[in-house]
């Protein structure tokens, strides 16, 4: 079974709630033996397996957003999993993805479950990855953006944080401001304060508990924040 080593390692909250229902066919009676009433108040520690399983389920939702699973998007997912999780885990995740794509995914419920159990920095990493999937075929469709925005909202992410990540994938004249959650009217002090806050909030070390591979993926987002800040420093002439 593809998820064998994750199960052996102890999946936590991903066994429960809507995510558990989706992957139940993969884990057989294990899901039936879980105390599903524990889901509502569970504060189980997030494991790497929980993160990967949740990523697979929401990946399937975004892939299906426009009604067609495109080769470019699927290739992006395969490459991401391989680079971030290694050959064995990537193969397991792709096998599970193929099965999950055949199911109806209760996106609102899944996103709420993820929001309940992941910390803020990990949820931001989720959004960044989902936007990467949507854009991987060369275009970012409104239906895809709307779906990711809904996922973001259900996970409890603020509009400001959502728009910051969204701006990392849109080439606009004021993208540097939007990435930092600001407008062009922001003062130099506002820019510095926003950068300092985001440098802490988005730091790759925030997701270190999910493993070195996930931490590496977070560095791309962190780099975009630094690039936005450097752009504004040059544009506004401050150090």
Sign of CA dihedral 42, 48, 50, 55: positive
User: Model's pTM, two decimal places?
Assistant: 0.72
Residues 192 and 209 in one domain: yes
What residues have CB less than 8 Å from 87, skipping those under 6 apart? none
Q: Where do the DSSP E strands lie in 21-119? A: none
CA distance 162 to 148: 9
Residues 56 and 167 in one domain: no
Q: What is the pLDDT of residue 101?
A: 92
Region of poorest pLDDT, from 71-75, 142-146, 212-216: 212-216
State the chain's mean pLDDT as an integer.
82
Residues 152 and 216 in one domain: no
State the residue range of the domain holding 233. 159-239
Read off the pLDDT of each residue in 65-83 and give the average, rounded to a whole number: 89
What separation in angstroms does the CA of 186 have from each of 22, 74, 199, 233?
Answer: 45, 39, 18, 13
148-171: pLDDT as tens digits = 999 999 999 999 899 889 988 876
**Does 33 have pLDDT greater than 50?**
no
**Does 147 have pLDDT greater than 60?**
yes
Residues 139 and 62 in one domain: yes
Last residue of a domain, one of 124, 157, 190: 157
């Amino acid at each position: 079974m593809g998820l064998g080593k994750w199960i052996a390692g102890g999946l936590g909250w991903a066994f429960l709630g809507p995510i558990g229902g989706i992957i139940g066919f993969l884990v057989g009676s294990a899901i039936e033996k879980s105390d599903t009433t524990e889901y509502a108040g569970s504060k189980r520690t997030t494991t790497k397996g929980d993160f990967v399983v949740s990523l697979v389920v929401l990946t399937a939702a975004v892939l299906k957003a426009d009604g067609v699973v495109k080769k470019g998007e699927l290739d992006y997912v395969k490459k991401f999993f391989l680079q971030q999780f290694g050959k064995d885990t990537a193969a397991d995740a792709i096998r599970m993805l193929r099965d999950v794509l055949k199911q109806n995914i209760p996106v609102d419920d899944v996103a709420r479950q993820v929001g309940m159990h992941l910390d803020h920095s990990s949820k931001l990493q989720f959004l960044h990855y989902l936007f990467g999937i949507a854009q991987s075929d060369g275009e970012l469709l409104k239906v895809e953006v709307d779906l990711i925005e809904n996922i973001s909202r259900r996970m409890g992410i603020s509009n400001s944080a959502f728009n910051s990540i969204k701006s990392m994938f849109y080439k606009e004249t004021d993208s540097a401001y939007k990435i930092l959650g600001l407008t062009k009217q922001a003062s130099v002090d506002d820019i510095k304060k926003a950068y300092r806050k985001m440098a802490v909030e988005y730091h790759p070390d925030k997701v270190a508990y999910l493993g070195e591979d996930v931490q590496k993926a977070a560095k791309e987002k962190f780099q975009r924040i630094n690039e936005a800040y450097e752009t504004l420093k040059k544009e506004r002439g401050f150090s």
